[in-house]
Structure 1
Amino acid sequence: MSTSDPKMSRMQLTAMVVGGMVGAGIFSLPRTFAGATGPLGAIIAWLIAGTGMYMLARVFQFLAERKPNLDAGVFAYAKEGFGDYPGFLSAFGYWIGSCIGNVSYWVLIKSTLGAFFPVFGDGNTVVAIVVASVGIWLFHFMILRGVQQAAFINQVVTIAKIIPILVFIVILAFAFKMDLFQFNFYGGGLEGGIFEQVRATMLVTVFVFLGIEGASVYSRYAKKREDVGAATITGFISVTTLMVLVTLLPYAVIERAEVAGMRQPSMATVLEAVVGQWGAIFVSVGLLVSVLGAYLAWSLICAEVMFTAAKTRDMPKIFARENANKVPDVALWATSIVIQVIVITTYWSRDAFSLMLNLTSAMALIPFLLVAGYGLMLTRRGETYERDPKDHRRDVIIAALATVYTIFLLYAGGMKFIVLSAVLYAPGTALYVWARREQGLPVFSRTSDWIIFVLAAIGAVVGIWWLVTGYITI
């Protein structure tokens, strides 16, 4: 499709959702869940996360249909409902969190290669960082050639990377041992009750569900507005089914404690234990395709969020610039530079992948909470339902459940990641100050904005102190 007709079909929008969701997370699920809980806890966790995220997906769906004028919905909804500064924080948090998520992709790629080439280690050796850096800039210059070209590549890659996951599921289904599944069922050997086990998995489920908003972020490219909601729900249901199966089936072929001790990507290690080394190679190749495709999808989303925030004057106007191929080039440069810097810092991290996974999830919680909160606000006021009241009561319930779920996620994530996110949110406000000065506007126009900033600044100071004193280790 030429740049003169930059519209995406429903299939391409769905591929953006699936491409964003099926990345590093799904390949790490066996070990991540096995280290926290058994099949019972996993089932409960997916019921909570699946229901909560489905409600959030439905909020994205009805907001896309009822507020078609709001593009890049993740932060646009926050601004519409809560004001300029919360809208900026949502955009910045989603953007920087997505950049951190992209770093996790490079860490996992190098960790995967480290199983065959020790020089890559666990993904944070000097060689791994150099190779990842080359990859970052190769993708950067490819995307600069055009959004539509990148979207087409993402659609092809999305189809290709689903195949190894389906093969994994089929092989483990045939190898299913009910007695072993029952032995692992209650998570024998783990400390804490079932509630603590489930709580320990919540940030992971946020990470693997990131991407359900992919179609909403790219709503300005949709051929039909209703395609945004349809793509969101279709992608969500498809990927959730895959993730649940990938989580539960390993419990039926290997003891939980053994899965918990496997190196990442644990899906490859599980299949190797069942069918031999070719299984590890097969899944590893699939992972490389999957993660590179997810990186492409998220690089597009990162640049699009910053570009749209600049277009609505919530970010400095320089980020609203596009090149001849209609790509937001300055926003993309900023994204790639931030990813490069964070990749370098992984050299000093003890478990870079887990840190990136949890911090990405924590940064997404505030934007998701504001979207759910705006959905609840809209439905309680009855706005846009004057001529079509039949769905009003249903949407109120959906928005209320989505809001409760995102509040629970903040609790489940714990204070550690809240203050770590504040370490990023507080200095990020400098971009908001820059944008407001450009417009000749006061930085904070409401008392609530000052309160939010002071809380973020206090959180940042506490977070830095905890890092310095070793209370938080990365």
Structure 2
Amino acid sequence: MTTRQASAVQKVSVLTLTGMVVGSMVGGGVFTLPQEFGAATGVLGAVIAWLVAGTGMLMLGLVFQSLAVRRPDLDSGVYIYAKTGFGAYAGFNAAFGYWASNVAGNVFFMVFTMTTLGAFFPGLGQGNTLLAVVLASAGVWLFHVLIARGVRQATVVNRIVTIAKLVPILTFVVIAAIGFEAGTFADNFWGSDARSFRSVFEQVKQTMLVTTFVFLGIEGASVYSRFARRRADVGRATILGFLSVLALFASVTLVSYGVLPQADLANAKQPSMGSVLESVVGHWGSTFVSIGVIISVQGAYLAWTLINAEVLYMPARGDVMPRFLTRDNAHATPIAALLTTTIAVQLVLILVLFVDDALDFMLKLDTALSLIPYLLAAAYALKLTITRQTYTSAGEPERRRQRAIASVAVVYSIFMLYAAGPKYLLLSAVVYAPGTLLYLMARREQGLPAFNRAEAAACAVLVVAAVLGVVLIATGSLNV
């Protein structure tokens, strides 16, 4: 980084970092929770699902907290931890996969905005009409201009929007709690007629992609660690943001079971939070939630675009992405990375025209793409506890504690890959494999060999999976 760039980087407080974590996680997903959970499970399964997801994501949060303290020399966490622990190609895939998942997530945000507006303007349909895509594209480029004017200004807007979007969600929880009926809640307890462990396990499994989706962003403070005033603020912001959001998500889910029967929740139109509130207070409830959706989703789009520019910029500075992505502008904004991100979102928005259920598809694809980066970060934390790097003999109790935390985070990440299923794993490979071309470009710029033996084997597996995915899509065996 040049002297001008370094001086232009604005340091932010722990409150702003926490706002980035909350702003990243509280996006459109929270407004879909009543329907997503109602279609998958009952009260018991929901409680178990939040316990599993909450524990797993908390362990990931603690992993990012620990790594921020133990390796203060490493910035842009999701990428750099994978690279440091497992080599340049692993680092590249963590960065590229994380970036690609955020692109899918940003498309979800724009489609969800158009879907919500579709209740008032029928021409927008379910967010995948030509008019909807045109309007969403205008929003994408408007955000591009805002962020290009400087990260400091954009983070201030993000803080304001984060506060504004929490108001309708908290209002929903309070009103739904007032309208709560114990009998309805009890009728929704089991979620199905089959009252067995296997049934509940399958119900919980069906919620896993949704619960992970709404928690995406827990690493937001880590990704932006180079902007923190104090390194310890990264960990504080991560945990504070996570606990706040977990309480919010679980509350939204559970109070809904006390308002509507599970069958009605399962068939509710998105944003389903509006359907629940409407049943308590009348039509204005759905309108109120729709306004909250638009504010929340656009705020989340801003937060994720900020993060996504960093996710390309930092790896390019670390020589695992092509050098053109290091270019910034007079506001110290990584403009080449930002433009690449905006163009990618624009292209995927166009593809939305050809997808049947764009909202659900983007939600699940976003989650599936993010699993490998999370797994690699957790695995690096576990590796540190095994090799004892950064640990002293006096810190043995702490090493054992961190090993337990990292182990749970690794197991949770692997379980999420299992829950995603073969369809989304193959679709992820279809996205990951072409990205290797960027890695090869970066290696050629440096005059370095493309792969070592282990990396070549990993690349071969990835390409085979991608080819299989393409064949299954072409033959209609894999529906998108």
Q: TM class by shorter-chain length?
A: over 0.9
| 1:31–1:190 Cα change, 3 Å | farther
1:14 alignment partner, SS class? helix
Q: What is the total number of aligned residue pairs between the two structures?
A: 472
Note the C-alpha offset of 1:380. Answer: 1.6
Per-residue Cα deviation, 1:210-234 (whole angstroms, up to 9, x for no partner): 0000000000000000000000000
Note the C-alpha offset of 1:341. Answer: 0.5
For residue 213 of structure 1, what is the amino acid of its counterpart?
Answer: E
| 1:189–1:120 Cα change, 3 Å | farther
Aligned twin of 2:325:
319
Aligned twin of 1:105:
109
Match of 2:468 among 443, 462, 473: 462
1:254 alignment partner, SS class? coil
Question: Are the aligned partners of 1:3 and 1:325 in contact in 2 as well (CA < 8 Å)?
Answer: no
Distance 1:269 1:341 in 2: 32
Aligned twin of 1:332:
338
Per-residue Cα deviation, 1:245-299 (whole angstroms, up to 9, x for no partner): 1111111010111111111111112111211111111111111111111000000
Aligned twin of 1:135:
139
1:450 pairs with 2:456: yes
Aligned twin of 1:114:
118
Distance 1:257 1:190 in 2: 16
For residue 312 of structure 1, what is the amino acid of its counterpart?
Answer: G
Match of 2:41 among 37, 44, 49: 37
Distance 1:97 1:3 in 2: 31
Distance 2:215 2:355 in 1: 25
Within 5 Å, give how 1:401-440 maps onto structure 2: 401-440=408-447
Aligned twin of 1:397:
404
Match of 1:13 among 13, 17, 21: 17
Distance 2:477 2:45 in 1: 29
Per-residue Cα deviation, 1:169-193 (whole angstroms, up to 9, x for no partner): 0001111111100101111368971
Distance 2:271 2:345 in 1: 21
For residue 140 of structure 1, what is the amino acid of its counterpart?
Answer: H
Distance 1:60 1:8 in 2: 18
Distance 2:416 2:284 in 1: 38
Distance 1:137 1:56 in 2: 33
Distance 1:312 1:127 in 2: 41
Q: RMSD over aligned Cα, in angstroms?
A: 1.3
Aligned twin of 1:307:
313
Per-residue Cα deviation, 1:379-424 (whole angstroms, up to 9, x for no partner): 1222111164441111110001100110111111111111100001
Per-residue Cα deviation, 1:293-312 (whole angstroms, up to 9, x for no partner): 10000000000010000000
Match of 1:270 among 270, 276, 297: 276
Single out whichever of 422-431 and 383-392 deviates more from structure 2. Answer: 383-392
Single out whichever of 180-189 and 413-422 deviates more from structure 2. Answer: 180-189
Match of 1:207 among 209, 213, 221: 213
Distance 2:332 2:270 in 1: 38
TM-score between the two structures when normalised by the length of structure 2: 0.97
1:282 pairs with 2:288: yes
Aligned twin of 1:351:
357
For residue 17 of structure 1, what is the amino acid of its counterpart?
Answer: V
Structure 1: runs of 5+ lacking an equivalent: none
Question: Are the aligned partners of 2:24 and 2:303 in contact in 1 as well (CA < 8 Å)?
Answer: yes
Note the C-alpha offset of 1:3. Answer: 7.0
Aligned twin of 2:227:
221
2:73 alignment partner, SS class? coil
Match of 1:147 among 139, 148, 151: 151
Aligned twin of 1:244:
250
Question: Are the aligned partners of 1:21 and 1:294 in contact in 2 as well (CA < 8 Å)?
Answer: yes
Match of 1:156 among 149, 154, 160: 160
1:124 pairs with 2:131: no
Within 5 Å, give how 1:78-93 maps onto structure 2: 78-93=82-97
2:40 alignment partner, SS class? coil
Distance 1:72 1:29 in 2: 30
1:457 alignment partner, SS class? helix
For residue 219 of structure 1, what is the amino acid of its counterpart?
Answer: S
1:414 alignment partner, SS class? helix
Distance 2:165 2:277 in 1: 16
For residue 306 of structure 2, what is the amino acid of its counterpart?
Answer: L
2:265 alignment partner, SS class? helix
Question: Are the aligned partners of 1:3 and 1:326 in contact in 2 as well (CA < 8 Å)?
Answer: no
Per-residue Cα deviation, 1:13-46 (whole angstroms, up to 9, x for no partner): 0000000000011111110111011111111111
2:389 alignment partner, SS class? coil
TM-score between the two structures when normalised by the length of structure 1: 0.98
Question: Are the aligned partners of 1:59 and 1:375 in contact in 2 as well (CA < 8 Å)?
Answer: yes
1:201 alignment partner, SS class? helix
Distance 2:62 2:337 in 1: 29
Per-residue Cα deviation, 1:50-84 (whole angstroms, up to 9, x for no partner): 00000010000000000011100001000011101
Per-residue Cα deviation, 1:74-112 (whole angstroms, up to 9, x for no partner): 010000111010110000000011011000000100110
For residue 152 of structure 1, what is the amino acid of its counterpart?
Answer: V
Distance 1:335 1:268 in 2: 31
For residue 203 of structure 2, what is the amino acid of its counterpart?
Answer: Q
Aligned twin of 1:58:
62
2:8 alignment partner, SS class? coil
Distance 1:86 1:331 in 2: 20
For residue 328 of structure 1, what is the amino acid of its counterpart?
Answer: P
Distance 2:461 2:356 in 1: 29
Question: Are the aligned partners of 2:8 and 2:331 in contact in 1 as well (CA < 8 Å)?
Answer: no
Distance 2:155 2:240 in 1: 18
Distance 1:144 1:329 in 2: 6
Structure 2: runs of 5+ lacking an equivalent: 1-5
Distance 1:5 1:356 in 2: 33
Aligned twin of 1:70:
74
Distance 1:171 1:189 in 2: 30
| 1:50–1:29 Cα change, 3 Å | same
Question: Are the aligned partners of 1:3 and 1:146 in contact in 2 as well (CA < 8 Å)?
Answer: no
| 1:147–1:190 Cα change, 3 Å | farther
For residue 371 of structure 2, what is the amino acid of its counterpart?
Answer: L
1:353 alignment partner, SS class? helix
Distance 2:318 2:193 in 1: 53
For residue 44 of structure 2, what is the amino acid of its counterpart?
Answer: L
